[in-house]
Amino acid sequence: MTPLVIRNRKHSDLPGCVDLLAVVHGTDGYPLNWPADPYRWLSPPEQHHAWIAEADGAEVVGHLAVHHALPEDGEAGAAEVARLFVAPAFRRRRVGTALLRQARRWAARHDTDLTLEVVDHQRSPAVALYERDGWRHTATVAAGWTAPNGAPVTLRRYVVASGAPEPADSTAEHRTAGHP
């Protein structure tokens, strides 16, 4: 397995992130609605921080951001995990887990709970990942937006408390570059 590096995302990483997002969208339909400006979608004003997973010293194979949680998200003082995606060829290699663990370490340093929302699909690999990683399902709600065909979208909300222990995992092989 190629060792991964989880590091702070730099502005110069954005073209590779957008390219990867396009591959993920074509493969999985994430994001459900392709953004008009994917660069801005990956770097919105409410963003606290973002990381990438890198393989072979240069290839972006995963991405995760942490945003200020909005009041309607129901978790005052929390930050929201957002824009998590992994290259199809790197799935089932714990890349998503490594990115989530980096966000949890960031939250612990900032004494901040984390929330996230995910589209509610039966047998969703994303739902399985969050639940396996110790996230607690708190609500299922209607999204304030629709699918490309105009159908309503249901979201599952999750939370993990600041400082909550990370589940034991001896199989992840990655290293972290940088701390913020």
Q: Is residue 108 part of a domain?
A: yes
- The predicted-structure confidence for 72-110, as pLDDT tens digits, reads as follows 545 556 899 999 999 999 988 889 999 999 999 999 998
Q: Is-contact 173 2, C-beta < 8 A?
A: no
How many structural domains comprise the chain?
A: 1
Q: Is residue 105 part of a domain?
A: yes
Q: Is residue 174 part of a domain?
A: no
- The predicted-structure confidence for 30-42, as pLDDT tens digits, reads as follows 998 999 999 999 9
Closest to 17 in 3D by CA, of 46, 58, 74, 47: 58
Q: What CATH number did the domain enclosing 18 receive? A: 3.40.630.30
Mean pLDDT score, 57-73: 80
Q: Is residue 81 part of a domain?
A: yes
Average predicted confidence (pLDDT) for the chain: 85
Instruction: Specify the pairing of strand 114-119 against strand 79-86.
Output: parallel
- The predicted-structure confidence for 2-61, as pLDDT tens digits, reads as follows 678 999 999 999 999 999 999 999 998 899 899 999 999 999 988 889 999 998 777 899
Domain that holds residue 35: 4-166
Q: Is residue 139 part of a domain?
A: yes
Residue type at 118 in one-letter notation = V
